[in-house]
Chain A
Amino acid sequence: MADRAQPLIRFWPGFGAAALVAALTLGTVLAVALRAEGWAGLTPSDWAAVRFTLLQALLSAAISVALAVPVARALARRRFRGRSLLVTLLGAPFILPVIVAILGLLAVFGRNGLFSYLFGTIGLPAIDIYGLHGVVLAHVFFNLPLATRLILQGWLAIPAERFRLAASLGFASDDIARVLERPMLRNVLPGAFMVIFVICTTSFAVALALGGGPKATTVELAIYQAFRFEFDLGKAALLALVQFTICTVAAGLALWAHVPEAGAPGLDRAVERWDARGSGSRWLDAALITLAALFLLLPLAMVTVHGVPGMAGLGNSVALAAGRSVLVALAAALVTVVLALALAFAVQAVRGTIGKGVLEGIGYLAIAASPLVIGTGLFIVLFPLLDPVSVALPITALVNALMSLPFALRALVPAVAQVEHQFGQLADSLSLHGWARLRHLYLPRLRRPVGFAAGLAAALSMGDLGVIALFADPEAATLPLQMYRLMAAYRMDEAAGAGLLLLVLSLSLFWLFDRGGRIDADT
């Protein structure tokens, strides 16, 4: 095996991909570092942004995890109709366009939303959603489902036999909590908390829509403001460096805390529990599950209800923006899949765990990089060469692709390893190398993970409101940006119509790719 000829095609695209990813992540940070003002350039309001970023991330992660524990427990021990649908839905916020969710949250919790209306009928004042609590609310909306899935995974990882043994020994619910559940939670919670903390530190769109002002500005938002409103590139670069530091430290802590897997299969089974048959715990679980489902579904239902009439009044600009967004999303999906496949093949082909680790690690760099940091760096690099605004859409597609790369690698690296393990020797014995191996072995066997990765990348790109806001050309907005502009102009009917269109397009893109990978896949 050691002297087996390794076809070059399996190396070089991977090294090229790794170089590109490194340039876009580390290279842009370098550009930012060279351009940044000294640390002394940080004003009190910048420090306030740092504090707010950490505070809101801390609160969002803590609340998401704390609420997720009872919901996950309820899901772990109950069987009911629609349970597997609900568990699937818990994965949906991940591909939901942030700005659409915010529109839905406004319709439920905003000044003119459902709750304010209900409060008004009993003489209470309307809710003000803007500020820290609004940002945290939106982050909990996105991350409670993620936390629930991660923790549910922990619950279902406790072997059913242990619950049976516990029942045979007459354990009450507290005994099961102490002997089985709390040790599991001690393992799972730190990782779940840290991963949500990392996600929330890079939050831009939520802070843009629901934060702002001196009291509720995140570092990402401050970068955007320094860039767009103050035209202060040195300041933006300095803030980008601050953001990079926060992300790197947080991601390092997350790795140290061991992030659990959310994608593992088998979440659609419930564990038989003999201790939780009382009607009290049944009602409690039913209430928890209902509340969690409502929290998730009500904003989306409101987007749909408001969006349907709004769809009719959509103008040309929204249609054009939608067209641009679809093109950007398709490009991002293509780039993600090509980069991920190239890296995955190289990881497979390189010998030695260090080489594999370095290559795979480069693919995951995007986790610690934020879109606005990359965007700022790219602007600094491109500005002397050309008008960055003229390449806003290609850059958006590229940065979006980069952001999806870690998830694509997570799906593809193990899949490639498995194909090689199962069929590698057979392919070698048939001299199936190079393109032939790619076309006749890898691509057919990898259809499912490739379809999933492409769907994820397309949906994430479709809904992204990050780097595009930085480069935005007034004439060439994407759909999320156009929708944000409509919201900022209080044209809420049109915004709702655009929101529904965006939601439908995002989910359809994901569904089409994911489905395309599954149909006729001879597993």
Chain B
Amino acid sequence: MLTLERIDIRQDEFRLTAEFKVDDRALVAVVGPSGAGKSTLLNVISGFFAPVGGRVLWDGADITDAAPGKRPLSVVFQDNNLFPHLTAFQNVALGIKPSLKLDKAEAVRVNDALERVGLVGMELRKPGALSGGQQSRVTLARLLVRGRPLILLDEPFAALGPALRVEMLDLVAELVRAEGATLLMVTHHPADALRIADQTIVVANGVAAAPVPTQALFDDPPKVLRDYLG
């Protein structure tokens, strides 16, 4: 279980507080106006931004000061999720060993992951030779081989067209459920949240609120969310 305990984030004039828990295996959307701090919240959880106060806990263990790669989570950024000079296989293999020295069993795991995301035959292509959707699939294959229990997505499919985005969201939801992982996903689209997230965190006015059921939230949105949705 992910716990944010009296988290206090400051950057110049900007301030954001967070105090909530996220249940295991929950699929949670993070919504809110631009600049409210959705990405910063994810960066605090993933270790790329240090809060001035409070603790991040995973299953009761304090991970506030752990290095990003040592946390029990995987991140998918808005872009630049792949190294352009490495092949699809290598980009996935990095999720097992950064040294890329895989034994047979590990190589099989990489190929299995690529197969699960539908990239059979694309192993040796570099990102430049893949479409946007295929690049996203490589990133998802790496999530699978890393097998971390918490997955953070920061508007990962913003660059894809609507149909492709829906397709990728469904794939993410399917994979996350199959792995029994927990998902936190920043999105600008209420439809995305309604499609796959059972719960939603609203980030607005300097507060990241505790997750509430998505359907109920959008059926009767509080004022901050109404202002944002327009």
- Chain A residues close to B by CB (< 8 Å): 159, 161-162, 164-172, 174-175, 178-180, 183, 274-275, 277
Contacts and interface: CB of A to CB of B under 8 A. Distances in A.
Contacts of B46: 168
13 contacts: A161-B77, A161-B79, A162-B80, A164-B48, A165-B83, A167-B47, A167-B67, A167-B68, A168-B48, A168-B74, A168-B77, A169-B146, A175-B98
Contacts of A165: 77, 80-83
Main secondary structure of the interface of B (DSSP, over half): loop
Interface in B48-107: 48, 67-70, 74-75, 77, 79-83, 85-86, 94-95, 98-99
Nearest to A179: B83
A164 B77 CA distance: 9
A275 B69 CA distance: 9
Contacts of B146: 169
A270 to B, nearest CB: 15
Contacts of A161: 77, 79-80
A277 to B, nearest CB: 8
Contact of A167 (B48, B81, B95): B48
Interface of B: 46-48, 67-70, 74-75, 77, 79-83, 85-86, 94-95, 98-99, 146
A165 B139 CA distance: 11
Contact of A169 (B47, B69, B79, B80): B69
Contacts, number: 58
Contacts of B82: 165
Contacts of B80: 159, 161-162, 164-165
Contacts of A277: 67
Nearest to B96: A169
A274 B98 contact: no
Given A161-B77, A179-B98, A170 B83 contact: no
In the complex, which of the residues A162, A170, A171, A275 has the most CB atoms of chain B within 10 Å of its own CB atom? A170
A162 B77 CA distance: 11
A162 to B, nearest CB: 6
Given A175-B99, A277-B67, 11 more contacts: A165-B80, A165-B82, A167-B47, A167-B67, A167-B69, A170-B67, A170-B69, A170-B98, A179-B83, A183-B85, A275-B67
A165 B98 CA distance: 12
5 A-B pairs closest in CB distance: A170-B69, A161-B80, A175-B98, A167-B68, A171-B98
A29 B66 CA distance: 65
Contacts of B86: 179
A175 B94 CA distance: 10
B67 A274 contact: yes
B47 to A, nearest CB: 8
Nearest to A275: B67
Contact of B68 (A174, A179, A274): A274
* Dominant SS among interface residues on chain A: helix
A171 B69 contact: yes
A173 to B, nearest CB: 11
B95 A169 contact: yes
B75 to A, nearest CB: 5
A169 B98 contact: yes
Contacts of B47: 167, 274
Nearest to A171: B98
Nearest to A172: B98
A168 B83 contact: no
Given A164-B77, A165-B83, A170 B99 contact: no
B85 A168 contact: no
Q: Which of B47, B68, B70, B82 is packed against the most chain A CB atoms within 10 Å?
A: B68
Contacts of A162: 80, 83
A379 to B, nearest CB: 53
A271 B94 CA distance: 22
Contacts of A168: 46, 48, 68-69, 74-75, 77
Nearest to B76: A168
Given A179-B86, A179-B98, A183-B85, A170 B70 contact: yes
A349 B222 CA distance: 63
A179 B85 CA distance: 9
Contacts of A171: 69, 98
A174 B99 CA distance: 8
A180 B69 CA distance: 16
Contacts of A180: 83
Contacts of B94: 169, 179
Contacts of B77: 161, 164-165, 168
Most buried by A among B47, B69, B70: B69
Residue in A165, A174, A277 with the greatest tally of chain B CB atoms within 10 Å: A165
Contacts of A178: 99
A522 B67 CA distance: 46
A165 B67 CA distance: 13
B210 to A, nearest CB: 26
A175 B82 CA distance: 15
A174 B48 CA distance: 20
Contacts of A164: 48, 68, 77, 80
B81 to A, nearest CB: 6
Contacts of B79: 161
A168 B47 CA distance: 9
A166 B82 CA distance: 10
Contacts of A169: 69, 94-95, 98, 146
Nearest to B74: A168
A170 B99 CA distance: 11
Contacts of A170: 67-70, 98
Nearest to A184: B85
Contacts of B99: 174-175, 178
A179 B79 CA distance: 18
B111 to A, nearest CB: 19
- Which of A164, A174, A275 has most B Cβ within 10 Å? A164
A452 to B, nearest CB: 33
A186 to B, nearest CB: 11
Contacts of B70: 170
A382 B222 CA distance: 90
- Most chain-A Cβ atoms within 10 A of its Cβ — which of B67, B86, B146? B67
